[in-house]
A = this chain, B = another copy of it.
Amino acid sequence: MPAISEIFVHPCGLCESEAVGLGTRIWAFAHVMQGAVIGSDCNIGDHAFIESGARIGNRVTIKNQVMIWDGVEIDDEVFVGPGACFTNDRFPRSPRMSLPAVVSRYSDKREWLLQTRVETGASLGAYCVILPAITIGAYAMIAAGAVVTRDVAANTLVAGVPARRVGWVCRCGVQTSSHNLPKRCSRCDEVLD
């Protein structure tokens, strides 16, 4: 898909950020908050939500209903499947709770906000959930419905609740269920290592 030279926001979409790159398209009922940073040539699907503080690279595909919060950084060329969701708080309580220990915790973002990173070219399947303080390595693939509770190494395929390694993935997306990383991709002949 060739880069186009403008930012497109659907008439029913809402973009409050001034830090969106050229060629990026934001679709109906999606909401990009002020302070979110999005690169160029991205696609942000219907009903997606990008919070202030989130950072997204170039040529990223954000499918419908994806939620990306403050504390999440997404590198170039990542695919975030429909409804995939990040998290940034390990001990969530209603910040409106009157309990002093909770009031105190939510009074300072450094007390509760955890960082998550998705590295170049990774793919996150439909409705996967990424727990806080996780790194997902380059070209890794998260199966649909997986709940990711720890770091995922590059080129790894993980699935299940909680997510476990079930195979390997080439940069081109082809998967193998072999225990050891194969030497070459069966489809694109790329050398893996």
Instruction: Give the CA-CA distance A172 to B94 in the complex, in Å.
Output: 10
Chain B residues, Cβ within 8 Å of A47: 29, 47, 49, 65
> Which single residue of chain B is at the shortest CB-CB distance from A106?
B1
**Contact-residue size bin, chain A (C-beta under 8 Å from the other chain):** 35 or more
A79 to chain B, nearest CB (A): 4
The answer to whether the Cβ of A160 comes within 8 Å of any Cβ in the partner chain is yes
Q: How many copies, total? A: 3
Given contacts A91-B174, A102-B172, contact A85 B43 (CB under 8 A): no
Given contacts A31-B46, A87-B126, A125-B92, contact A99 B171 (CB under 8 A): yes
Q: Is A60's CB under 8 angstroms from B172's CB?
A: no
Instruction: Give the CA-CA distance A152 to B98 in the complex, in Å.
Output: 23
The answer to whether the Cβ of A123 comes within 8 Å of any Cβ in the partner chain is yes
Q: Is A94's CB under 8 angstroms from B59's CB?
A: yes
Q: Is A121's CB under 8 angstroms from B93's CB?
A: yes
Q: Is A49's CB under 8 angstroms from B64's CB?
A: yes
Instruction: Give the CA-CA distance A12 to B174 in the complex, in Å.
Output: 41
* CB contact between A81 and one of B12, B92, B95, B161 (< 8 Å): that residue: B92
Q: Is A43's CB under 8 angstroms from B96's CB?
A: yes
The answer to whether the Cβ of A131 comes within 8 Å of any Cβ in the partner chain is yes
Given contacts A29-B29, A145-B147, A171-B99, contact A93 B65 (CB under 8 A): no
Chain B residues, Cβ within 8 Å of A126: 85, 87, 129
Q: Is A83's CB under 8 angstroms from B81's CB?
A: no
A77 to chain B, nearest CB (A): 4
**Residues of A with Cβ closer than 8 Å to B?**
1, 12, 14, 28-29, 31, 41-43, 46-47, 49, 59-61, 64-65, 67, 77-79, 81-83, 85, 87, 91-99, 101-102, 105-106, 121, 123, 125-127, 129, 131, 141, 143-145, 147, 160-161, 171-175, 187-188, 190
